């Protein structure tokens, strides 16, 4: 029974030890700037009582869902198409390699000029941040499909569409899911940065607003912890999806 609970117990023990060290460090240094765990907990309770906690989390998640969802809707099919058509990939690849290294944060002034201080600015940044990892992973996933699978499908009389949906896409799906996990992590980082500048709500806005309005570092740290916890949950959800029986076969034995 204990062995089965170890994946949960060890992280809880590590987190508890970290909180204990944090509390002791605050007491030992006597700092009046950095908050204690109890002060952060009171700050979270204050936000919840004012109805801001759920609202800020909702706004951040909504922006990520829209921007990331748009990146998935465009990046996966375009990546599969480019992976299946080497000529088109060679034509587009220089443009992809030109735009991909540009930090999404560098687009913030452009997004504000185009969309103003509004949700659209943050969503566009999330879209740009998530698009290229998804696009490249889908393209590479299709390219990496073994010719043996393709020939087997052709021998069974599959059409081009059938070969794509029943052979190529399932074989490329593990790498696509890896790209989706990477892109989601980047999108969550970018939404926090974008909210500090381009909008007036969300967890990123809470960080910068709490710092500027009265130096409420208890709320700053509370927002940081929430950002980390939500990011962890999002990653675990996609990790669980990648281990589903329908796609797990695509991973090598040591990474399954």
pLDDT band at 248 (very low <50, low <70, confident <90, very high): low
| CATH classification for the domain delimited by 34-255, as one of 3.40.1110.10, 2.60.40.1930, 1.10.3720.10, 3.40.1190.10 | 1.10.3720.10
> Mean pLDDT of all residues in the chain?
85
pLDDT of 70 reads 96
Instruction: List, for residues 140-173, the tens digit of each pLDDT value.
Output: 988 888 777 777 777 777 777 778 777 888 888 8
pLDDT at 254: 38
pLDDT confidence tier of residue 237, bands split at 50, 70 and 90: confident
Q: Which residue has the higher pLDDT, 201 or 227?
A: 227
DSSP string, the chain: -HHHHHHHHHHHHHHHHHHHHHHHHHHHHT-SSSPPHHHHHHHHHHHHHTTHHHHHHHHHHHHHHHHHHHHHHHHHHHHHHHHH-HHHHHHHHHHHHHHTTS-GGGGHHHHHHHH-SSHHHHHHHHHHHHHHHHHHHHHHHHHTS-HHHHHHHHHTT--HHHHIIIIIHHHHHHHHHHHHHHHHHHHHHHHHHHHTTT-S-SHHHHHHHHHHTT--HHHHHHHHHHHHHHHHHHHHHHHHHHTSHHHHTTS-GGG-
Instruction: Please report the pLDDT score of residue 124 as a whole number.
Output: 92
pLDDT for 116: 82
Per-residue confidence band for 109, with pLDDT thresholds at 50, 70 and 90: confident
Nearest to 182 by CA among 252, 233, 131: 131
Decide if pLDDT at 139 tops 70: yes
Domain residue spans of the chain: 34-255
Cβ within 8 Å of residue 220, ≥6 positions away:
207, 210, 211
- Higher-pLDDT residue of 243, 116: 116
> Residue range 3-15: average pLDDT?
76
pLDDT grade for 210, boundaries at 50, 70 and 90: confident
Q: Tens of pLDDT along 69-78? A: 999 999 999 9
Beta-carbon contacts of residue 108 (< 8 Å; ≥ 6 apart): 121, 125, 193, 194, 197, 198
Mean pLDDT of 98-115: 87
Q: Report, as an integer, the average pLDDT of 218-224.
A: 91
Output the six-digit token pair for 206: 């809470």
């Amino acid at each position: 029974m204990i062995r089965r609970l170890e994946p949960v117990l060890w992280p809880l023990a590590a987190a508890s030890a970290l909180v204990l060290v944090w509390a002791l460090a605050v007491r030992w240094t006597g700092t009046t700037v950095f908050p204690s765990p109890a002060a952060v907990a009171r700050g979270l309770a204050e936000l919840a009582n004012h109805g801001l906690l759920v609202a800020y989390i909702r706004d951040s998640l909504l922006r990520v869902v829209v921007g990331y969802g748009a990146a998935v809707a465009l990046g996966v099919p375009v990546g599969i198409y480019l992976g299946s058509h080497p000529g088109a990939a060679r034509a587009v690849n220089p443009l992809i390699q030109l735009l991909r290294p540009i930090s999404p944060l560098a687009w913030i002034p452009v997004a504000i000029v185009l969309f103003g201080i509004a949700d659209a600015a943050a969503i566009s940044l999330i879209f740009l941040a998530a698009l290229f990892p998804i696009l490249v992973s889908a393209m590479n996933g299709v390219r990496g499909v073994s010719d043996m699978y393709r020939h087997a499908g052709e021998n069974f009389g599959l059409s081009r569409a059938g070969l794509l949906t029943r052979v190529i896409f399932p074989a490329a799906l593990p790498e696509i899911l890896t790209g989706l996990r990477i892109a989601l992590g980047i999108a969550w980082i970018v939404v926090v940065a974008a909210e500090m500048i381009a909008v007036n709500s969300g967890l990123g806005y809470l960080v910068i607003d709490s710092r500027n309005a009265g130096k409420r570092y208890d709320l700053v740290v509370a927002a940081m912890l929430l950002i980390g916890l939500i990011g962890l949950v999002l990653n675990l959800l996609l990790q669980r999806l990648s281990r589903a029986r329908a796609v797990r076969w695509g991973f090598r034995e040591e990474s399954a």
